[in-house]
Amino acid sequence: MRQPRRAIVITLVLGLALGAGLLVGTVTAQSGKPLALGPLPPVPVPRDNPMSSEKVELGRMLFFDPRLSGDASTSCASCHDPQKGWGDGGDVSRGYPGTQHWRNSQTVLNAAHYTKLFWAGEVTSLEGQAVAAATGNVAGNGDPMMMEERLRQIPEYVRRFKAVFGTERPLIGDAWKAIATFERTVVSKAENVPFDRHVKGDARALSDDARRGLALFSAKAGCIQCHSGPLLSDESYHSLGVPKSPVFEEDPLRQITLRYQHVSRGVPEPVYRTADRDLGLYYTTKRDEDRGKFRTPTLRELKYTAPYMHNGVFFTLEEVIDFYDQGGGNEPGKSPLLKPLKLTVQEKKDLLVFLLSLSSDQPITVPAPRLPDYAVLK
């Protein structure tokens, strides 16, 4: 994690053969320059929710259990399926029955390293993310008291909660802690990621075209301006002018749900009447300059996490590269960092190969657990 009161200088030898020399990147957290790329550090763990194998297993069960939702139909895995890159595979998420969500279901992969979660950074911990998703009206729509009572009438959960947390009966707050603990295990491992192996000194980990792509990423393409550090995200907010998702022009339920978002987040009446897209950070700040700004996502595991962008409007990385090559979209307030890149066809191919090298050799998955049954209390 970044330390707020002193500069952190990270020197990284990328080992990128360019002509006769090596590219050496030195960056400073408070210098205004991007943090150096490199393998992920150990997962940060909060003091009030330490890790244990028993808690991880309980969290895995709860992650897959649809009883932690309003009508017992929607689990965390419904929108974050391990077989679909820990998203739901669609452009815009399905939403709770009777609604249709307005945002792409962002992957859980490496979410343990974020300090801001959701597309607009509305929460700052995995524990907070779990409760927000399970109780949100267009996500899980669960009532905390009802969900807690369901857990208390499942003998295996009663036993497991007591073993992990020492309580006689399950508490819903502990359920969020267990889910967050499980999610802290859903991370990339350096030995499985070609780029990370390269950084650690494996001269054969990256092909020549991937090395050229890395040079483009760090220089001409300018990707590193926002996709920096081990997570490949500055965790800041940027407006890219991403095109509107066509589903909002086709599905009345999506329009209804989006307008509900405007109302529930306190958007002023004139904005509510005219807004036809996700307003991003504006919902939190109510500042016009924050319309359309979203938190920079990680680029890790891109191979498995399509579609891309907050509204899933791009289904391939080639589309994403073309979008940035043309300087992003044409919406007001677009980030000044976005400019036409004028990449050649070969440069686009090299950049794509490098981006794919940020993914694990094989998808990161876990098996769905057997869920315990209810029992009649005696």
Average model confidence (pLDDT) for the chain?
91
Of 33 and 246, the structure prediction assigns the larger pLDDT to 246
User: What pLDDT is stored for residue 281 in this prediction?
Assistant: 97
Average pLDDT over residues 313-341: 96
72-107: burial string, b at 16+ Cβ within 10 Å, e else: eebbbbbbbbbebbbbbeebbbbbbeebbbbbbbbb
User: Model confidence over 342-352: pLDDT tens digits?
Assistant: 999 999 999 99
User: Model confidence over 249-264: pLDDT tens digits?
Assistant: 889 999 899 989 999 9
- The number of beta carbons lying within 10 Å of the beta carbon of residue 353 is 19
Instruction: Decide if pLDDT at 23 tops 80.
Output: no
Instruction: Decide if pLDDT at 30 tops 90.
Output: no
Place 305 in a pLDDT band, splitting at 50, 70 and 90: very high
User: What pLDDT is stored for residue 270 in this prediction?
Assistant: 87
User: Model confidence over 106-123: pLDDT tens digits?
Assistant: 999 999 999 999 999 999
Domain layout of the chain by residue ranges? 9-36+189-241+292-356, 53-183, 246-290
User: What pLDDT is stored for residue 9 in this prediction?
Assistant: 29
Residue of 281, 278, 279, 277 whose CA lies nearest to 236: 281
Pick the CATH number of 9-36+189-241+292-356 from 3.90.79.10, 3.30.70.20, 1.10.1200.10, 1.10.760.10: 1.10.760.10
Q: How far apart are the C-alpha atoms of 331 and 136, rounded to whole Å?
A: 29
Place 13 in a pLDDT band, splitting at 50, 70 and 90: very low
Instruction: Decide if pLDDT at 29 tops 70.
Output: no
Of 67 and 19, the structure prediction assigns the larger pLDDT to 67
User: Model confidence over 53-110: pLDDT tens digits?
Assistant: 999 999 999 999 999 999 999 999 999 999 999 999 999 998 899 989 989 999 999 9
Of 25 and 189, the structure prediction assigns the larger pLDDT to 189
Instruction: Decide if pLDDT at 225 tops 60.
Output: yes
Share of the chain above pLDDT 90, in %: 81
User: Model confidence over 131-176: pLDDT tens digits?
Assistant: 999 999 999 999 999 999 999 999 999 999 999 999 999 999 999 9
User: What pLDDT is stored for residue 273 in this prediction?
Assistant: 83
Q: Do domains 9-36+189-241+292-356 and 53-183 have the same CATH topology?
A: yes
Full 3-state SS string of the chain: CCCCCCCCEEEEEEEEEECCEEEEEEEECCCCCCCCCCCCCCCCCCCCCCCCHHHHHHHHHHHCCCCCCCCCCCCHHHHCEHHHCCECCCCCCCCCCCCCCCCCCCCCCCHHHCCCECCCCCECCHHHHHHHHHHCCCCCCCCHHHHHHHHHCCHHHHHHHHHHHCCCCCCHHHHHHHHHHHHCCCCCCHHHCHHHHHHCCCCCCCCHHHHHHHHHHHCCCCHHHCCCCCCCCCCCEEECCCCCCHHHHCCHHHHHHHHHHHHHCCCCHHHHHHCCCCCECHHHHCCHHHCCEEECCCCCCHHHCCCECCCCCECCHHHHHHHHHCCCCCCCCCCCCCCCCCCCHHHHHHHHHHHHCCCCCCCCCCCCCCCCCCCCCC
Of 17 and 201, the structure prediction assigns the larger pLDDT to 201
Domain 53-183's class? mainly alpha
User: Model confidence over 257-302: pLDDT tens digits?
Assistant: 998 999 999 999 988 888 788 999 999 999 999 999 999 999 999 9
User: What pLDDT is stored for residue 249 in this prediction?
Assistant: 85
Instruction: Decide if pLDDT at 21 tops 50.
Output: no
Place 32 in a pLDDT band, splitting at 50, 70 and 90: low
Average pLDDT over residues 209-215: 98
Average pLDDT over residues 214-228: 97
Instruction: Decide if pLDDT at 196 tops 60.
Output: yes
Average pLDDT over residues 236-249: 93
Place 240 in a pLDDT band, splitting at 50, 70 and 90: very high
Which of left, alpha, beta for 237 (phi over 0: left; psi -120 to 50: alpha)? Answer: beta
